Chain A
Amino acid sequence: GQQVMQIPQYQHVQEGEDFTTYCNSSTTLSNIQWYKQRPGGHPVFLIQLVKSGEVKKQKRLTFQFGEAKKNSSLHITATQTTDVGTYFCAAGYALNFGKGTSLLVTP
């Protein structure tokens, strides 16, 4: 299966600071998906990346897929308290989820 590792496990930032989470694999990934889970909620699909070197943006969120398709990143510019939650990457057919990065934003 397409296993993925996420770092960091936790991140605590001041509101307005940037945030990045990384997703790495030892094997080439066919695609990668990103999900957000708010505290007490369920995972919600954010985006899917398929092409080598692909970059997609959603407002303050920037998603990248590495040239070798073995890593991906999610960058949030100028975090807000609404960004609080756990961000998961997932890959493979039935989706192997990383353990997630929990983001805490202090006002």
Chain B
Amino acid sequence: EVQLAESGGGLVQPGGSLRLSCAASGFTFSNYWMTWVRQAPGKGLEWVANIKEDGTENYYVDSVKGRFTISRDNAKNSLFLQMNSLRAEDTAVYYCASGRLENWGQGTLVTVSS
């Protein structure tokens, strides 16, 4: 059974940092693009970033460029999102998803507030 489990969310002050993780199991992680998607309270889904199977390509939504970094460790079947210089508008539930978004995690809540 395919499973994606996000962790690392929490409450952080504006300007702070968090590192989200996504543990994957039940499929060959290294064969799939991986994606982070978020949903702010009362808002729609927003694509955040994605990364190629081997980590050599990645893309970001404009609003997080220069602040967030997506990475992966194929040996540990793990996806990461390093989030720096966090802002109130980054408050959201963050989901990881695999490949053509056929599998999703349950999400981890990030709250940026003083």
Binding between chains A and B? no
